[in-house]
Chain A
Amino acid sequence: MESKKYLEDISEIKDMMRKSSRFISLSGLSGVLAGIYALIGAWLAHRKLQEIIAVDYTDVFGSSSVKIETDYIYNLFLIAMGVILLAIATGILLSARKAKKVGDKMWDDSSKRLVINFFIPLFAGGVFSIALLQQDMYGLVAPATLIFYGLACLNASKYTLGDVRYLGISNIIIGLISTQFIGYGLYFWALGFGIFHIFYGALMYFKYDRV
């Protein structure tokens, strides 16, 4: 009789500590969808690249190759932006739905903290990547985006479900590996933003979403 009350107290303490410090309504399913968008984006970028290589071959005098290159970068940028916006929108929508289902508030101190701490490294990475483009170091853009995204996840993981930490570490590792394989950035992107999101998203979906 007494010990039942103590057990209740302990679980109440744990529940309150977790609830008040972490945003736990993060949707795993939205991670899976973000991964799928990234794979579609990578496939579109790959196709664009093939097109450009084909054009480049026919262009014997090679005068327009610089223009083609900036054209390609611009297209890639648009695809990447599309993928990011779609992924963020899906994440917000599905997390809001999950929060509503368990009777939690979507926009409170813990989700605010999560967003701020996620976006600080991400913003730094975005600015840094633009600087790389300015300096014509295109080859380092893929590694830089993966590493900074990984750091953003690692930082955010303290304020949400702990699994996000491993998504972050995985992305940091392949970001570093990709520095040794310049020119294959698209494949590393597909792995980091596509496959890893699907894997960890599914893991989180089965662990937390289906309650």
Chain B
Amino acid sequence: MDFLNAIVAFANFVFVPGLAYGAQLALGALGVTLIYGILRFSNFAHGDTMAFGTMATILVTWLLQSWGVSFGVLPTALLALPFGVAATALVVLGTDRAVYRFYRKQKAAPVILVIVSMGVMFVMNGIVRFIIGVEDIGFADGERFLISARTFKEMTGLDEGLAIRTTTVITLVTAAIAVALLFWFLNKTRTGKSMRAFSDNEDLALLSGISPERVVAVTWIIVAALATTAGVLYGLDKSFKAFTYFQLLLPIFAAAIVGGLGNPLGAIAGGFVIAFSEVTVTYAWKKVLGYVLPDSLAPDSLVQLLSTDYKFAVSFALLILVLLFKPTGLFKGQSV
């Protein structure tokens, strides 16, 4: 019984949250990795692209709510998501037109594009804060729990409860759909294959008549969709705050690099590796250990390796380890 309680506590506090966070990071890292593979630079504005997309979605959500529209047990934000994606796609396409294309024409070095993307990051950062503010904004509505901790306890008779939140399930389902669509697109469609060809060998792609501007535009649209979806899922699961999204840049880049930059499968694996490392290192294991170990060995302290305030140190440490020992990442990606 104690052992079951330990498993349930572990699932409730580590496994399920890690799964949801991992899926959100994976979607973010997919966007970073696509930009790196096709436009060949690390897009520092990605966190703020997520923030912009989420902001647009929140605004549409509020509009829908003011009209009395709701999505039943599901959050209204899911209805607003396509509008958020469209708005973000327009913004990133516009940014590409106004900023990145100029440097692409000059065949600027990737490091210059990275700095350019930092500029874009600051501008987007400002716009988002200007429009929606710097406060924490919760926008999840609908049913909060699929199974609440109390229901679970009553169902199973265990001491520990396993709460399954609606947003967790939505995150996993939406992420799975998004990833499936992305891989179908990249592997089965003509445009998707031309994107992979362009990423693989730019000169040969040009020789084959693949239009770079078209590939770049399609990439930005996909990245806008992935970033907005990742941002909205993260916001539904936790809450929206412009600064938090800016900070998400680190775990997202860590995920993309740990997985192998430019490799979509790697981005997904990296997302989960980073998420689970972060959650396991910052979780206080006292409760789980208390169930598993005999009373004499039960820990007095919290058994928390790192305070949650330091959670970014985990992704940073992993990032450095990977760069030192396996610069191409877990899956064969490009070295940075």
Are both chains from one complex?
A: no
